[in-house]
Amino acid sequence: MFPILKKEISTFFSSLTGYIVIAVYLIINSLFMWIFPGEWNIFDNGYAGLDTLFLLSPWIFLFLVPAVTMRMFAEEKRLGTIELLFSRPLTERGIIWGKYLASVILVLLALLPGIIYYISVYLLGNVPGNLDRGGTLGACIGLFFLASVYAAAGIFASSLTDNQVISFILAVLICFILYMGFDSVAYLPGLKNIDEFVIGLGVNEHYRSLSRGVIDIRDVSYFVALVAIFTESTRMVLISRKWRKRG
């Protein structure tokens, strides 16, 4: 696992991929928080808070994370190097988790400069320091878990094809369904009696729960379970490919 992790991290930062992901994330958030006029602008809103950051980030990551993961297996298949991976003394799980953790680390590195936003808002309040620290910490943790699920879904999508563009589109579609799909389905006619249950199946409900500053083990377990489902599904795809090759 660790050789794969090291290789992927090195690949990210030996090209422009890692730097572009971090820069795009910071620039988009900065534009909406400080430059573009409107209710999301902190100066126009008149409220020193990080709500804009935590509202925008899931949508930004909806495209940025699949952009990171789209090449993970799709490129290996296109170049034929995936056979070399299988020939090394590594298990399928080791390969998958090495690539997955590399994606998560890149997302974490994109989140770390967000400390600048926190310090800025912390100092901008009428009473400096009058910021909901618990809610902010919970939202950061929720955002990290959300991006972790996006990364697992992106790795799975990349294992299904050898085309990076198709991998990207599939990953965006899966992540969108996870984030907003269940919320939309819950309000369909005939689902009124089970709407809360359906909403609870989606990522957004658990992300909002963590954003309130309460770290509930049920929310954490939900995210961990989703990551496990997608990584194991990726493993099954890789195993089926190996069997097809042998056949």
Phi-psi region of 190 (alpha: psi -120 to 50; beta: other; left: phi over 0): left
Work out the pLDDT band at 83, boundaries 50, 70, 90: confident
> What's the rounded Cα separation, in Å, for the pair 28 and 49?
17
C-alpha 198, offset from chain centre: 21
213 three-state secondary structure: coil
> What's the rounded Cα separation, in Å, for the pair 161 and 57?
27
- Give the single-character DSSP code of 130: -
The residue assigned the tokens 């939309």 is 184
> What's the rounded Cα separation, in Å, for the pair 193 and 168?
35
Most confidently predicted of 109-118, 168-177, 180-189: 168-177
Work out the pLDDT band at 146, boundaries 50, 70, 90: very high
Work out the pLDDT band at 126, boundaries 50, 70, 90: low
Question: Would you state the pLDDT for residue 246?
Answer: 55
237 burial (CB, 10 Å; 0-12 / 13-18 / 19+) is middle
Give residue-wise pLDDT tens across range 192-235: 778 788 888 899 889 988 887 778 899 999 999 999 999 999 99
N- to C-terminal Cα separation, the chain: 27
